[in-house]
Structure 1
Amino acid sequence: MYLLGYDIGSSSIKAALVDAQTGEQLAVAQSPATEMEMLAVQSGWAEQHPETWWSNACLATQKLLQLTQIDPSRIKGIGIAYQMHGLVLVDENQEVLRPSIIWCDSRAVAIGDKAAEEIGREKCLQHLLNAPGNFTASKLKWVKDNEPDLYERIHKIMLPGDYIAMRLTGEIRTTASGLSEGILWDFQENTPAALVMDYYGFDENLLPELVDTFSLQGAVTTAAAKATGLSSGIPVNYRAGDQPNNALSLNVLAAGEVAATGGTSGVVYGVVDRPLYDPASRVNGFAHVNHTREAPRIGILLCINGAGIQYSWVKQHMAEQGLGYPEMEKLAAAIPPGADGLRILPFGNGAERMLENKAPGARINNLQFNRHHRAHFYRAALEGVAFSFVYGTGILQEMGLDLQVMRVGNDNLFQSGIFASTISNLLGSRIEVLETTGAIGAAKAAGVAVGIYSSIREAMTGNKLVTAYEPSKTKDSYQEAYQQWYSDLKMIL
């Protein structure tokens, strides 16, 4: 028996096949080979075509089946992880009405700010754990205000993972965890958030049918089977946003456990067992994958938009042609901590929630033409993102989260020793790098829903420890470099 997992990112689509009995990864396939395009019609906007996600999901599935040569009828469950906070709109024929407004789009900041003031900021925090902010609900309000004719044609709104599930099964459904990431879930009432829906003037029928995170959510249709190479009838029985799913993949399920990732955006995600919020909404609380009203599990999420996308930009536009990330790492390692004074603020990918929705843009500071060269940029780019993690993690520590151990996957910026050791030294935390991915976690989660595993914890136990980073005894150079970077940040806040 096998389990299939998808990770629907904004850069690429990954599909992973797992042996249900052993939990071992058989293969992972990705599409496209290069990053998917983001549409930026105006400054601060970010959109993608949902059909692009689907076509690449089909290609990744076909590659996976070709790699493994397994009989697709032996796949017993499908799990889906997906980029959070996006807005997908479909009509009654399940046709997409416009490109998806994705997670790093900043156009709805003012809409969310106004909503928080008029609903009442404290009321929002108590019921939603967040201000409406620049999340899915506020993005829908932007469509309502700016594209009224299109708005009238909306049959259902969805998150990106709901859309992929719809393409696989023909069913339009979502979860409480998903609604919470759109700021459409009321934690006090344990229902969709009427206070947001009513304030924005949304009809409750726009929301999909609710299903449990781990449940039978539909089955692969004949049309989807033809497009992907799968067998019809395979159940889809798990979906979750990429960051709750990443935490699940790393076995971060209980209060006090912390996960992190450094993909296009950077995230630190800590689990607490009570409703908890930041009064300034610099970090956000969402229903974790195992959250229930009786046993709350809230994921407190710090998100840094300008993370891997910044380092990718440096590679594309500043590195010598053909130079890969491993070679950039080697060159950067020859430069001392602090990059000889070169400092980069990586905030060039839209409004940053941890900066109270400011969008200062990326900044290169203290560049000296007779001193700095490409390797300095590689180091400063990694350190700029690492320093951003440290700055944001301070907010989590203020809220009482313990960060003695941070678990991370082996498929993102944490593959960089410079990046990981910088964070470890500045936070005084052990960082454990585990051999897993979001797609593998989603596949195993599907196994929980069909009863192959007795619990989520059982399914996620056994990840191989690839390496661990411990704080060194000599941290002065890291502290000095961080303080200089922090001084730069304070000047623009």
Structure 2
Amino acid sequence: MSYVIGVDLGTSAVKTVLVNRSGEVVAEHSESYPLSQPKPGYSEQRPEDWVDGTVTSLRKLMEESKASPESVEGLSFSGQMHGLVLVDGEGAVLRPAILWNDTRTTAQCRRIEDTLQGQLLDIARNRALEGFTLPKILWVQEHEPQILEQAERMLLPKDYVRFRLTGQYGMDYSDAAGTLMLDLARKAWSTDILDAFQLPHSLCPPLVESFEDCGTLLPEIAAQSGLLPDTRVYAGGADNACGAIGAGILEEGQTMCSIGTSGVVLSYEERKEVDFEGKVHFFNHGEKNAYYIMGVTLAAGYSLDWFKKTFAPSISFDELLSGVQDIPEGSGGLLFTPYIVGERTPHPDAEIRGTFTGMDAGHKLTHFARAVLEGITFSLRESIDILRDSGKTIDTVISIGGGAKNEAWLQMQADIFNADIVKLESEQGPAMGAAMLAAYGSGWFPSLQACAAEFLRESKRYTPQPQAAEKYEELFGLYQEVYHRTRELSSALAKFR
């Protein structure tokens, strides 16, 4: 038996999966690591924690599976996007990584927009948002210039881990697209953008395809992880690109909804000239010469996690959500907006904050729990509508992540999106996408589509209920009004935070 390994470097933990030639996950393991928030709006991690967690997870994966090291043909990565890692000429980290959910860079975003104006969307195809990498580099340039002067390379999280495992620098196109420094159509670092901010071109690592061979494990890493030094390592991709691969989003018309800490609606796209005017993200796919369109809800699963920790810390998620299926659509006249850390799509607004609207004395915990689920799904529906308005037909959506683990929530997605929702038989999300990149890179299949056909199987399909879909259509209109009616209030309240 031969295997590949997918490594998913998340915000709270790294997950490794061992996958055989039939696409079966024969073992998995995860290792958590801390998140540092030294000031309001700051979010940082120690890159060495990622390396230590990855090596430990690989070792435990091999020990628990009892697979022979010789049977592992390759491994690849999925990684949290946008995070800035700066290293010196020796590859040593110069400061903690600034993560995707760090919001300190509003002033730098305005500087990017004022400097580049229309060029930004023409070249990078995305707006300047606090989460992206270029604003983080400019923050370091302005606040820690001595650090940037020492920096030889800018890396993203998974690329730093891969560098530490192989000694080779590189960044794939799907992750590079989230830096705001890539010319997406040309698949090259943008000299115009780098020069506009006096950034040395050498700061950017070589660009590679997601399935490209990036070398083998360093001897000391192989010894620590329980793998062989000649284990092939493939570039990997951004977590959302790998999530798309792991869900089989590899052809025109295919769409997925991924609900994790954040929520993502993602659709495959071949038209590189399509213009969404920055309303959604437009990134290179892990598939060669393809793209994906993506709308983001910043606090999707995070909203549910916050709600449970704040209002029901002593019960499990299953207990919290038991009974939500018995509450009618609209949660008894209660609306929730999941803006608890700001919002991304369709409102790139770091100041907006969440609301419960319509509370009365008759509402119980279950009404609030259902309202949170509905609010998250309404936010994702806004991204679905942008894609539909571009001419896409979205009648089927593959659901992965936390939103695919609850029957009532899956049916809710079908009713709110007014589309069939498909749950996969074995849903591993980005980790599976990383494993598929390793399988394709190792020559197991002639294409990623052939790999998906072998690895992925539909488990259950949820179809819209006409009456529920009609009610949700009316409620969705009310949901959309809440942002516009609370935006000024949120802005005024910001000085009291």
TM-score computed with the length of structure 1 as normaliser:
0.93
Deviation (angstroms), 1:61 = 1.7
Aligned-pair identity in percent equals 26
Please state if 1:446 is matched with 2:438.
yes
Match of 2:230 in 1: 233
Hey, what's the Cα distance between the residues in 2 that align with 1:113 and 1:400? 31
Superposed, 1:9-158 pairs within 5 Å as 9-20=10-21, 22-32=22-32, 36-121=33-118, 123-134=119-130, 135-158=132-155
Superposed, 1:106-255 pairs within 5 Å as 106-121=103-118, 123-134=119-130, 135-255=132-252
- Select between 372-381 and 297-306 the one with higher mean Cα deviation: 372-381
Match of 2:376 in 1: 385
Match of 2:403 in 1: 413
- Partners of 1:113 and 1:133 within 8 A in 2: no
- Partners of 1:277 and 1:285 within 8 A in 2: no
Match of 1:399 in 2: 390
Please state if 1:461 is matched with 2:458.
no
What amino acid is aligned across from residue 24 of structure 2 in structure 1?
A: E
| Equivalent residue for 1:300, pick from 269, 293, 298 | 293
Deviation (angstroms), 1:278 = 5.2
- Partners of 1:421 and 1:469 within 8 A in 2: yes
Deviation (angstroms), 1:73 = 2.5
Please state if 1:365 is matched with 2:366.
no
Q: How far does the alpha carbon of each residue in 1:305-346 deviate from its partner, in whole angstroms, 9 at most, with x for none? A: 11011111122222251x222222213223222121222211
- Partners of 1:276 and 1:285 within 8 A in 2: no
Deviation (angstroms), 1:441 = 2.2
Deviation (angstroms), 1:291 = 3.3
- Select between 378-387 and 57-66 the one with higher mean Cα deviation: 57-66
- Select between 452-461 and 480-489 the one with higher mean Cα deviation: 480-489
Hey, what's the Cα distance between the residues in 1 that align with 2:73 and 2:229? 11
| Equivalent residue for 1:310, pick from 300, 303, 308 | 303
Hey, what's the Cα distance between the residues in 1 that align with 2:274 and 2:114? 17
Task: Tell me the matched-pair count.
Answer: 481
- Partners of 1:109 and 1:357 within 8 A in 2: no
- Partners of 2:262 and 2:302 within 8 A in 1: yes
Hey, what's the Cα distance between the residues in 1 that align with 2:275 and 2:185? 17
- Partners of 1:445 and 1:459 within 8 A in 2: no
Distance 1:218 1:271, change over 3 A: same
What amino acid is aligned across from residue 25 of structure 2 in structure 1?
A: Q
| Equivalent residue for 2:415, pick from 414, 425, 431 | 425
Q: How far does the alpha carbon of each residue in 1:8-28 deviate from its partner, in whole angstroms, 9 at most, with x for none? A: 1112211000113x2221112
TM-score computed with the length of structure 2 as normaliser:
0.92
Deviation (angstroms), 1:86 = 1.2
Hey, what's the Cα distance between the residues in 2 that align with 1:108 and 1:276? 29
Hey, what's the Cα distance between the residues in 2 that align with 1:171 and 1:350? 37
- Select between 323-332 and 152-161 the one with higher mean Cα deviation: 323-332
Hey, what's the Cα distance between the residues in 1 that align with 2:341 and 2:254? 28
Deviation (angstroms), 1:350 = 4.2
Hey, what's the Cα distance between the residues in 1 that align with 2:438 and 2:180? 25
- Partners of 1:344 and 1:381 within 8 A in 2: yes
Runs (4+) of structure 1 exceeding 4 A deviation are 276-280
Superposed, 1:310-329 pairs within 5 Å as 310-321=303-314, 323-329=315-321
